[in-house]
Amino acid sequence: MPKQSQQTSRQNGDKAILLVTSGTTMTKPRQVFDDIQTQVEKTWPDWEVHWGFTSRIIRQRLAEKGETIPSPAEVLATLRARQFKKAAVQSLHVIPGGEFHDLVKEVNGFKQMGPEFRLSLGTPLCSGTDDLKRVCRALLADLPPKKKSGEAVILMGHGTKHPAGAVYPALSAMLEKSDPLVILSTLEGYPDFSQVAQKVKEQKITRAFLIPFLTVAGRHAQRDMAGPGPETWQSRLTDLGVTTTPVFKAISENQKIVDIWLDHLKTAITDL
């Protein structure tokens, strides 16, 4: 579980930051949440920091293990009951997809309850052209140090059927223009693995690093991207004659990526 806020002096509440992510059931990958919270508390020391997971499935799985992580709505209800004056909600999602739009509805619902509890919402990582340019630069600046000339880097995003999924081909095109051997594709959207396979054949790629384009390197990274199962990207690339090296490093471990989220949070706080 993300660490508890160190702010304990405000018994009646004043201002809070709510960090929101889909979540993960895996313990080790969640270390990145603690790292982000540390930065947030250092930058805004007078604000109480809370977490909410938007994925109902992940919250349910954690509950089955005896661990309770609240939804964003539950956190906001608690803050309102504690008579907080304002809260900045920051999405740590990658794109403004379905979970983010559900969050928008929840925040707007609390806004309609009255002006005594002011709320603002910071946008996800890839929320505009400037964001995509920054993400592209951040990814290219953080390629594996052991990568040699001619070796590829294949980034696995989650993907979605939501219209916001258009972010992925846009970012993929930006990356390819800068470095044709940096390939972004997705599990559940477009581009998908068939585009990876096509580029592997076209560029005669024989070695590649596999890296998650995900907030955390959780189950998708460890069970869909890599691993011995026949349907993992690693196995499918092996079948194509590609020697792969999985790198279990989430994008939230890239400081230049985290800086984008923090800039969005800064904007949300200013809007209050």
pLDDT score, position 11 = 46
Radius of gyration of the chain (CA): 19
* Cα–Cα distance measured from residue 52 to residue 18, given in angstroms and rounded to the nearest whole number: 7
93 a catalytic residue:
no
Residues 236-264 pLDDT 10s: 999 999 999 999 999 999 999 999 999 99
At the second CATH level, the architecture of 15-126+254-271 is 3-Layer(aba) Sandwich (3.40)
Q: Which of 250, 206, 200, 204 lies closest to 225, judged by CA?
A: 250
Contact 20, 59 (CB under 8 A): no
Question: Which amino acid does the sequence have at 10?
Answer: R
pLDDT score, position 29 = 75
In the sheet where 15-21 sits, what is the strand order?
Answer: 48-53, 15-21, 86-91, 118-122
Residues 119-146 pLDDT 10s: 999 999 999 999 999 999 999 999 999 9
* Cα–Cα distance measured from residue 233 to residue 187, given in angstroms and rounded to the nearest whole number: 9
Average pLDDT over residues 3-12: 46
Residues of the chain above pLDDT 70, percent: 95
Contact 54, 99 (CB under 8 A): yes
Whether residue 50 is annotated as binding a ligand: the answer is: no
Whether residue 158 is annotated as binding a ligand: the answer is: yes
Higher pLDDT, 31 or 270: 270
* Cα–Cα distance measured from residue 87 to residue 14, given in angstroms and rounded to the nearest whole number: 9
Residues 59-118 pLDDT 10s: 999 999 999 999 999 999 999 999 999 999 999 999 999 999 999 999 999 999 999 999
Q: Is the pLDDT of residue 3 over 70?
A: no
Residues 12-46 pLDDT 10s: 469 999 999 999 988 877 899 999 999 999 999 99
* Distance between start and end Cα atoms, the chain: 28
Which CATH code of 3.30.750.24, 3.55.10.10, 3.40.50.300, 3.40.50.1400 fits the domain covering 143-249? Answer: 3.40.50.1400
Average pLDDT over residues 160-172: 97
Domain ranges of the chain: 15-126+254-271, 143-249
pTM: 0.94
Q: Which two tokens stand for residue 190?
A: 């477009």
Q: Is the pLDDT of residue 6 over 70?
A: no
| DSSP H or E run through 91 | strand 86-91
Work out the widest C-alpha separation in the chain, in whole angstroms. 63
Q: Which of 49, 50, 162 lies closest to 99, judged by CA?
A: 162
Catalytic residue among 50, 158, 162, 264: 158
Residues 214-227 pLDDT 10s: 999 998 999 999 98
* Cα–Cα distance measured from residue 266 to residue 79, given in angstroms and rounded to the nearest whole number: 20
Q: Is the pLDDT of residue 148 over 90?
A: yes
